[in-house]
Amino acid sequence: MLRQRIITALLLAPLALGAILFLPLLGFEVAIALIVGLGAWEWAQLAGIQNRIGKAFYSFLLVAICAVLSSFVPVELIWYQGQLDQLYRIILAVAGGWWALSLLMILAYPNYSTIWRSNMLLRAIFGLLTLIPTWVAIVSLRTYLYDVDPLFGASLIFYVLGIVWAADIGAFFIGIKFGKHKLRPNVSPGKTYEGLMGGVMSSLAIIGFAALHYQVDPTRIWTHILIGALTVGVSALGDLNESMFKRCVGVKDSGNLLPGHGGILDRIDSLTAAFPIFALFYVMWMA
């Protein structure tokens, strides 16, 4: 299993790096849309869709939504005069509302879950609210200040990846060593408050380094730190959200597309929450 994980990671890492750094913007949109499509295939099962035709239709639907958004908002107009397109701003705001609702669902689980557990359409909509804003957020970040510095948006994506991965690593080791108080045992028995705090603390080093690297205005340093800390905290919510839906359908992994790693959603669950929330706050407070 460990050997499979290492091999898969070694194959995927350069592909992800190359896509972020070297793909033209339209090609980047397509690549992220394909990842959304794979994630949608797996979410279909979490929604209760079991047959391949239904899964394929759901995947096609989400990719088609990405394509419509791309055609409606061309890459050169995603940002205009330093402002994010209004439609994309609305989608990010809706994502903020969805993750607030998701928090309430997780805190209440399993109470009140019968409202949505038996409703396939509602769970399918939850997948749309999870994956489409992720596409919008990543594309929005990648295209930010592209005319000034083609790699500035890429650096924002790497920043989110860095603080989320640092949080995951810190939460894992701190949780194993010191974890005693369960975060949400009904949703994910392995998560602890100590692990969560360890993850946040681990990410602060990258947040601080980024503040120095980007020469953040001293008057805005606390805003920068707050956005980073909120992003890390919400990334844990993305992990718990997927765990809750997997528990509802009785599966350990969202899929088996990545040998040794499980499914696509198992690898990006934290990022589906982190990217939209980071992009939302960045647009509101930093852009």
Return the HEC string of the chain.
Answer: CHHHHHHHHHHHHHHHHHHHHHCCHHHHHHHHHHHHHHHHHHHHHHHCCCCHHHHHHHHHHHHHHHHHHHHHCCHHHCEECCEECHHHHHHHHHHHHHHHHHHHHHHHCCCCCHHHHCCHHHHHHHHHHHHHHHHHHHHHHHHCCCCCCCCHHHHHHHHHHHHHHHHHHHHHHHHHHHCCCEEECCCEEEEEHHHHHHHHHHHHHHHHHHHHHCCCCHHHHHHHHHHHHHHHHHHHHHHHHHHHHHHHHCCCCCCCCECCCECHHHHHHHHHHHHHHHHHHHHHHCC
What is the reported pLDDT for 261?
57
What is the reported pLDDT for 11?
66
Give tens-digit pLDDT for 49-77.
989 999 999 999 999 999 999 999 999 99
Contact 153, 141 (CB under 8 A): yes
- Range among 64-73, 161-170, 249-258 rated most confident: 64-73
What is the reported pLDDT for 6?
56
Question: How confident is the prediction for the chain on average, in pLDDT?
Answer: 89
The model's pTM: 0.94
- Average of pLDDT values for 156-185? 87
Residue of 215 and 173 predicted with greater confidence: 173
What is the reported pLDDT for 145?
94
pLDDT band per the 50, 70, 90 thresholds, residue 142: very high
CA distance 250 to 116: 16
pLDDT at 257 exceeding the cut of 60: yes
Lowest mean pLDDT among 222-231, 261-270, 278-287: 261-270
pLDDT band per the 50, 70, 90 thresholds, residue 2: very low
Cis peptide upstream of residue 24 (ω within 30 degrees of 0): no
Give tens-digit pLDDT for 20-45.
999 999 999 999 999 999 999 999 99
**Number of residues in the chain:** 287
Give tens-digit pLDDT for 263-277.
899 889 999 999 999
What is the reported pLDDT for 259?
60
DSSP state of 216: -
pLDDT band per the 50, 70, 90 thresholds, residue 10: low
- Average of pLDDT values for 146-150? 95
How many CB atoms are located within 10 Å of the residue 64 CB?
A: 12
Contacts of 84 (CB under 8 A, 6+ apart): 78, 92, 140, 283, 287
DSSP state of 262: B
pLDDT band per the 50, 70, 90 thresholds, residue 195: confident
